[in-house]
Structure 1
Amino acid sequence: MASTRIPRSRTPDARLLDDSRFRALLSDEDWGRLPVAIWRRFSKRLSDGKTIVYVGLVDEACLSRIGWWIAQLLRAIGGPLPTSAATGVPIIVTVTEDASAGGQTWTRICARRRRFPQVIRSAKCFAGPTGLEEYVGFGISMALRVSVEQEVLVFRSVGYSFGAGRLRLPMPAWLTPGVLTVTHKDLGGGEFRFTQEVVHPRFGEIIRQSAVFREASS
């Protein structure tokens, strides 16, 4: 059953108004279709340098042969994509407020059997043509378009670019892994599902990983 909706302009809970940056990327109608639990997660403003920790378990993972090779090649720029198809392994996501950059630093730590965990770091900034960009390092970033699909919050890449100083150059599609889509679905009881998939324009879906999370107890 969907969570009870509270009109955005009339909510009595001040915590839902702490951070309007994600909310501003959606229309009132789309924001109103989300469960209240998602409102809370994406309206929680942290003090500079403070961190929220989410702990989870990977329950679905798939890398095609092409996807595996692309993920390995991208290790040269920090390894922004999953390199393992292991399931049943723990994963931790931390979100840290970065006031100097006007955004958030995201760190994902995913366990791998008989190997050191994979660490993926990126920074989300509320800028660019869509209002939200994710930087993976080495001057590479992608613009993200935010939408709502059947009560699920969706982040989808709409272009990659390379920047050096004030110079910003769009990257041709053949130099990118494809369209990245991340979804956030509330499961109730404090849990949510985080899924990411990469669809290559020629090879189709090459990477998919899904995990169930909950906020760590303080």
Structure 2
Amino acid sequence: MLIPSEGELFKKILGARWRELHPDIQARFDKNPLPGKPLFYTGSLSELRCSRLGKLLGYLSMPFIKGALMPYDDADFPVDIQVYSKHNCASIFKQRLYRLNARKPVMFTSYMAESARGEVLEYVGMGLGMKLLLDVRDGNLHFESDGYFWDILGVRIPLPDLLTPGKTFLCHRNNSSNQFDIRIEIRHALFGTTFTQAGVFKEVAA
């Protein structure tokens, strides 16, 4: 049975730099969610913002990749996350439930996989995804998108950068053994920052 782990994939990609990560982050990603036994995290977003272009892209994409690009401005609302695996599947899935203020909750699920070339890929729905580059800075884990694509029957078709929401930057910053910050920014080459999310999370028992 395949037991996928983000930690194992990140160790492979980072090589010796894995040891530069804060030990709490290493321990967090070393956990393997067995099928039927997901990992649970809860927290809140202190910031959810998008530009005018972000709102347009968010509303246009909502029917296809609901939640990947939320066209809202909000703050201080709870978020629940499940990280899980499936039987005989090498991907790791993340389901996020955003409990927005004065709106219906939004659920968004993505999954992370390793390509045949050893790349880290994240899929957000309808075959759309991005390649991710990993880095370690000050003991914290950083992700940066390196191109978006549309996967059709196993063939990855690159999307022109200017026709995407922009380059994605994510920082996983450690606070303590059971708490971490996440900050996500998407920046378009011509139109600047299109989306921002920032929040704090902790692991909880099932």
User: TM-score, length-normalised on structure 2?
Assistant: 0.90
- More displaced stretch, 164-173 vs 125-134: 125-134
2:52 maps to which of 65, 68, 72: 65
Confirm whether residue 114 of structure 1 aligns to residue 112 of structure 2.
no
Confirm whether residue 52 of structure 1 aligns to residue 24 of structure 2.
no
1:182 maps to which of 157, 170, 176: 170
Match of 1:82 in 2: 70
Cα separation, 2, equivalents of 1:161 and 1:205: 20
Q: Could you tell me whether the CA contact under 8 Å between 2:162 and 2:188 is conserved in 1?
A: no
Confirm whether residue 23 of structure 1 aligns to residue 4 of structure 2.
no
Match of 2:188 in 1: 200
Greater radius of gyration (CA): 1
Confirm whether residue 34 of structure 1 aligns to residue 21 of structure 2.
yes
Which structure is higher in RCO with an 8 Å CA cutoff and minimum separation 6? 2
| Regions of 4+ moved over 6 Å | none
Match of 2:83 in 1: 95
* Aligned partner of residue 22 in structure 1, secondary structure: helix
* Aligned partner of residue 100 in structure 1, secondary structure: coil
The structural deviation recorded for 1:60 is 2.0
Is the alpha carbon distance of 1:20 and 1:130 closer, same or farther for their aligned partners in structure 2, counting shifts above 3 Å?
closer
Cα separation, 2, equivalents of 1:204 and 1:129: 31
Q: Could you tell me whether the CA contact under 8 Å between 1:130 and 1:143 is conserved in 2?
A: no
The structural deviation recorded for 1:46 is 2.2
Is the alpha carbon distance of 1:99 and 1:138 closer, same or farther for their aligned partners in structure 2, counting shifts above 3 Å?
same
2:30 maps to which of 36, 40, 43: 43
The structural deviation recorded for 1:115 is 1.5
- More displaced stretch, 205-214 vs 162-171: 162-171
Could you say what the CA RMSD is over the residues aligned between the two structures, in angstroms?
1.9
Confirm whether residue 167 of structure 1 aligns to residue 147 of structure 2.
no
* Aligned partner of residue 115 in structure 1, secondary structure: coil
Q: Give aligned-pair identity as a percent.
A: 27
Q: What per-residue deviation string (whole Å, max 9, x for no partner) do you get for residues 116-162 of structure 1?
A: 11111111112255621011111211111111122210111101111
Cα separation, 1, equivalents of 2:57 and 2:114: 28
User: TM-score, length-normalised on structure 1?
Assistant: 0.85
Cα separation, 2, equivalents of 1:130 and 1:180: 20
Q: Could you tell me whether the CA contact under 8 Å between 2:6 and 2:92 is conserved in 1?
A: no
* Structure 2: runs of 5 or more not aligned: none
* Structure 1: runs of 5 or more not aligned: 1-16
The number of residues matched between the two structures is 201
Q: What per-residue deviation string (whole Å, max 9, x for no partner) do you get for residues 160-196 of structure 1?
A: 1112213321111122111111111001151100111
